[in-house]
Each structure stands twice: as structure tokens, then as C-alpha cells.
Structure 1
Amino acid sequence: MTENDKPDVAALSYEEARDELLRVVAELEQGSSTLEQSLALWERGEALAGRCEEWLIGAKARLDAARAAAE
């Protein structure tokens, strides 16, 4: 899959972003990419981590709201 074929990070579910982030980390850990490829992977990984964090913050807000409504 080329860079242009990858889905927009903002459109990914938490699970999709997490799974792709795991693949990015594994590829970076292999150390077989060129510097340019490594930088592109790092940038994609940062975006994916940010997307996961957005989902988790949103989930926490929903849980907090549900708890507050139950009180």
C-alpha cells in the first residue's frame, strides 16, 4: 500500500488506527527502511497515535457524562 492509498487518519476507527500504529512501529523497529521512509512512517505513526488519543479522550468524556447523569 502506497502513502496515497492509506486512508485518512481522521476517518479511522480507534481499532483501525491502533492496528496500523502497531504495524508502523514494527516496521520502524525492523530498521530496514531508508531515512525518507522512516521519516514518513514516523509522521504517520504520530498522526495515528493522535487519532487514538482523540478516541480515548472522547470515550472518557462519554463515560464521565454517563456517570454524572447517573448521579
Structure 2
Amino acid sequence: SISNLVASELARKNLKCKNVRVDMDTNAQGSISITKVTVTLDAKDAARCREAQEALTKTLGIQTEVLSNGG
């Protein structure tokens, strides 16, 4: 699952996610696609959001937003 992939990639960087939200959309043909993944890190890891976002966007190949818990 996307959540497991996110958790695995973050673990390689010694980060832990608090939450993963996946936004999906359906096109005219009925195909479902993931449009965005939003990941929330613990507040103590706020300084590493950009690093995590770049790694996850590269790994997942889709738009990824990384936030900290509380900002």
C-alpha cells in the first residue's frame, strides 16, 4: 500500500510519519488515479519536511506534500 511505502521510505531516513492521506480522482473512463499524497511528520521533525518530500516524490512518482504535526 501507499502508506507502507511511505513508512518504509521515511524509516530509511530515520523519520516516522504520523499520518498519510491519499487523494484520488476518477476520470471519464472510470479509472481511479492517485493525485496527491499528504504526509504528516511529528513536530520534532519539522526541519526535515523538505528532505522527506523530495525523497517521497522521487520514490512515489506523484505529487507529495509533507507537513509537520502542528505546522
TM-score (norm 1): 0.31
More strand by share: 2
More helix by share: 1
TM-score (norm 2): 0.31
Task: Flag the structure with more relative contact order, 1 or 2, with Cα contacts below 8 A and sequence separation at least 6.
Answer: 1
Computing the radius of gyration from Cα coordinates, the structure with the larger value is 1
